[in-house]
């Protein structure tokens, strides 16, 4: 975790870096700002009354929340493992965790379809339990989980690594079990990083398009609905929903960031 | 898609100075690229030629005040088929006489394309309506759509005329056995992977991809020019106006593919070269090899507007 810079500390960076930095910030903010300003408040309010849009937003958030919960359940243990133990093949495991971020999203969707599709290994197995994935909520969750869980694992791992090992070892010496050390020392201290990872994962998950559309074209999450409106009815129909999604994500992002900052202080 | 990719390759081999760039969308979507998204394309081809007058003749380019197109070539026909594989459920049972019954079974997953965006989509519903009419059994259409969609797709009969009403939102119910995609080409991968058992496809596409297929009889297959009056009684209406720029009614007719050069094409001379190649011996052979032979002699709508080079090429 980074230390907060003491005020008055002299910056020592090469000349021109601040210009380049501003350029990048401008490059990120300009398209977003212009999109936000492209629709009138009236149109936005009208779009917010569109039942299809409402359903799509709630579906998107529901799927994102499920994916994040599963990500926490499966991702935190491996993050802790990677932060606290050295084992043979650790580098390989770290590479595997990063894989979903480096392959094209459409490729991820196809790979998931082959496994979770009706004739795939897991698709067949889950069918016995009455769970199917193509064009179902479960499919959306799986796709979101696959593409966004690396963010949670990597952020959480860094957070665990930043926890002072002496504290854990002291507790261990006093006879605390590994479970107890994790719950009462490591997790409370790494909590902010884990939450940050969960936020990143959630935001990344609900924005996912490429992998989701291959596994579940419908029910339509907001990114798919935006695509469908854009394809079917043009830019004018797609922009209001785009703006709504942007506002929701930005607001959520701000709230959760604020929350994680205040928790840690 | 396949014949066009082969045409691209063969054309580029003969014209090394040209790089043909193709994109594929549902039939209606293709034209909206030009009329709504203001893309400047050199050549537009569609699986339903009647969309060209409806969407491109009728829309003016705001920059020039001219319509986006004012002629088209009627390229070729096709037949509606139901594509499947040997793994599909009831593969040994389906035939040209019971397809509508098999496809209405709850345990059969059927892929259709979106009737709002793709010609194959509304043609699928036309085939069911025609079958209902042919066998005088309205449950043929009814059973297929019953409880499948969140907002129902309805059949309305007035005397001889049959209308299929498509709601603004086409979304299947959570337990539906239908799978809807934006265009029929998007169904191929799902059929290959076993995700769906059957998909509505054109016979040329099913053959190109090596699928098994039930070729629908001409009464429902929309391939027989002699049945034009019979087909014409059926129409598909999109029950919404909110985003539509034209009256969204599609009349059933023999399937005919259309091709035009938009009036705002940036490189019309290259488009002309491509059409001349298509109607030349190599192009004709490629289309024939893909089960989609061209209409020869060429059939042209509003031939007086054809570019001079093409008038000469077609001997007008």
- Closest residue on chain A to B194 (Cα): A119
Tell me, yes or no, whether A19 lies in a domain: no
The answer to whether the CB atoms of A118 and B195 lie below 8 A apart is: yes
Tell me, yes or no, whether A194 lies in a domain: yes
Least trusted range by pLDDT, from A106-110, A226-230, B228-232: A226-230
Q: What is the pLDDT of residue A10?
A: 63
Tell me, yes or no, whether A98 lies in a domain: yes
Domain boundaries, position A184? 50-221
Is A234 near chain B, with CB under 8 Å? yes
| Domain B80-238 belongs in CATH node 3.40.190.10 | yes
CA A16 to chain centre: 33
Q: What is the pLDDT of residue B238?
A: 85
Nearest CB among A219, A231, A235 relative to B182 is that of A231
Tell me, yes or no, whether A94 lies in a domain: yes
Tell me, yes or no, whether A207 lies in a domain: yes
B2-77+256-313 and B80-238: same fold?
yes
Which ranges of chain A does DSSP label H, i.e. alpha helix?
17-36, 41-48, 51-84, 90-102, 105-116, 121-128, 137-162, 165-173, 178-181, 187-206, 210-215, 222-233, 235-264
Tell me, yes or no, whether A121 lies in a domain: yes
The answer to whether the CB atoms of B36 and A234 lie below 8 A apart is: yes
How far is A65 from chain B, CA to nearest CA, in Å? 20
The answer to whether the CB atoms of B195 and A52 lie below 8 A apart is: no
Least trusted range by pLDDT, from A130-139, B125-134, B170-179, B245-254: B245-254
How far is B180 from chain A, CA to nearest CA, in Å? 8
| pLDDT, greater one: A235 or A172 | A172
Q: A265 pLDDT band (50/70/90 cuts)?
A: low
- Give me the CATH number covering residue A126: 1.10.3720.10
Looking at the structure of chain A, the number of domains it has is 1
A8-48 pLDDT per residue, tens: 556 678 888 999 999 999 999 999 999 999 888 888 998 88
Q: What is the pTM of this model?
A: 0.81
Dist. CA A16–CA A39, nearest whole Å = 36
Nearest CB among A113, A219, A232 relative to B193 is that of A113
Q: What is the pLDDT of residue B23?
A: 87
Instruction: Report domain extents, chain B.
Output: 2-77+256-313, 80-238
> Domain B2-77+256-313: which CATH class?
alpha beta
A130-178 pLDDT per residue, tens: 998 988 999 999 999 999 999 999 999 999 999 988 988 898 888 889 8
Tell me, yes or no, whether A166 lies in a domain: yes
Is A104 near chain B, with CB under 8 Å? no
Tell me, yes or no, whether A248 lies in a domain: no
Contacts of residue A122, defined as CB under 8 A and 6 or more positions apart, other chains included, come to: A115, A116
Dist. CA A123–CA A112, nearest whole Å = 10
Q: A264 pLDDT band (50/70/90 cuts)?
A: low
Q: What is the pLDDT of residue B169?
A: 84
Q: What is the pLDDT of residue A5?
A: 46
B166-212 pLDDT per residue, tens: 998 888 988 899 999 988 888 998 999 899 999 999 999 999 999 99
For chain A, percent of residues with pLDDT exceeding 90: 58
- Closest residue on chain A to B241 (Cα): A233
Confidence check on the interface: ipTM exceeds 0.90, yes or no: no
Interface residue of B25, B36, B185, B191 to substitute, partner A, most A CBs within 10 Å: B36
What mean pLDDT value characterizes chain A? 89
Chain B residues with CB within 8 Å of chain A CB: 25-26, 29, 32, 36-37, 87, 109, 116-117, 169, 171-172, 174, 179-182, 190, 193-195, 243
- For chain A, how far is it from start to end, CA to CA, in angstroms? 14
Contacts of residue A125, defined as CB under 8 A and 6 or more positions apart, other chains included, come to: none
């Amino acid at each position: 975790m980074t230390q907060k810079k003491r005020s008055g500390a002299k910056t020592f960076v090469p000349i021109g870096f601040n210009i380049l930095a501003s350029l990048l910030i401008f490059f990120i903010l300009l398209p977003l700002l212009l999109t936000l300003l492209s629709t009138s408040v009236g149109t936005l309010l009208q779009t917010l009354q569109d039942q299809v849009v409402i359903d799509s937003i709630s579906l998107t958030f529901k799927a994102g929340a499920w994916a994040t919960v599963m990500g926490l359940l499966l991702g935190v243990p491996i993050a802790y493992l990677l932060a606290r133990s050295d084992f043979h093949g650790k580098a390989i495991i770290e590479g595997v965790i990063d894989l979903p971020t480096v392959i094209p999203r459409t490729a991820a969707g196809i790979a998931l379809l082959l496994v979770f599709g009706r004739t795939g290994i897991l698709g067949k197995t889950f069918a016995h339990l009455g769970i199917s994935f193509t064009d179902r909520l479960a499919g959306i969750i799986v796709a979101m989980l696959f593409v966004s869980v690396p963010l949670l694992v990597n952020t959480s791992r860094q957070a665990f690594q930043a926890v002072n090992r002496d504290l854990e070892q002291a507790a261990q010496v006093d006879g605390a079990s590994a479970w107890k050390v994790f719950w009462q020392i490591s997790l409370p201290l790494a909590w902010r990083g884990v939450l940050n990872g969960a936020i990143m994962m959630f935001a990344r998950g609900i924005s996912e398009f490429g992998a989701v559309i291959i596994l579940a074209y419908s029910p339509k999450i907001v990114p798919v609905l935006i695509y469908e409106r854009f394809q079917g009815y043009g830019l004018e129909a797609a922009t209001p929903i785009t703006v709504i999604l942007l506002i929701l994500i930005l607001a959520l992002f701000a709230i959760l960031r604020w929350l994680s900052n205040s928790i840690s202080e | 898609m396949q014949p066009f990719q082969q045409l691209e390759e063969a054309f580029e081999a003969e014209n090394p100075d040209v790089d043909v760039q193709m994109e594929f969308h549902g039939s209606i979507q293709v034209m909206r690229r030009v009329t709504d998204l203001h893309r400047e394309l050199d050549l537009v081809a569609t699986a339903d030629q009647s969309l060209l007058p409806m969407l491109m003749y009728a829309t003016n380019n705001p920059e020039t005040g001219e319509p986006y197109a004012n002629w088209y070539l009627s390229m070729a026909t096709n037949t509606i088929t139901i594509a499947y594989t040997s793994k599909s459920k009831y593969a040994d049972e389906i035939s040209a006489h019971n397809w509508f019954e098999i496809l209405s079974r709850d345990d059969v997953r059927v892929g259709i394309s979106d009737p709002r965006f793709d010609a194959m989509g509304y043609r699928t519903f036309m085939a069911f309506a025609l079958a209902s009419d042919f066998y005088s059994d309205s449950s043929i259409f009814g059973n297929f759509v019953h409880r499948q969609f969140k907002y129902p797709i309805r059949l309305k009969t007035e005397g001889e005329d049959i209308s299929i009403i498509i709601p603004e939102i086409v979304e299947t119910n959570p337990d539906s056995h239908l799978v809807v995609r934006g265009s029929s080409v998007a169904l191929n991968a799902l059929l290959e992977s076993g995700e769906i058992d059957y998909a509505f496809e054109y016979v040329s596409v099913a053959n190109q991809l090596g699928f098994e297929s039930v070729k629908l009889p001409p009464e429902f297959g929309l391939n027989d020019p002699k049945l034009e009056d019979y087909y014409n009684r059926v129409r598909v209406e999109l029950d919404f106006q909110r985003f539509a720029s034209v009256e969204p009614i599609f009349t059933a007719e023999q399937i005919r593919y259309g091709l035009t050069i938009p009036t705002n094409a940036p490189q019309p001379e290259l488009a002309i070269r491509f059409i001349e190649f298509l109607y030349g011996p190599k192009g004709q052979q490629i289309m024939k090899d893909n089960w989609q032979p061209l209409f020869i002699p060429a059939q042209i709508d509003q031939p007086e507007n054809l570019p001079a080079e093409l008038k000469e090429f077609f001997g007008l």
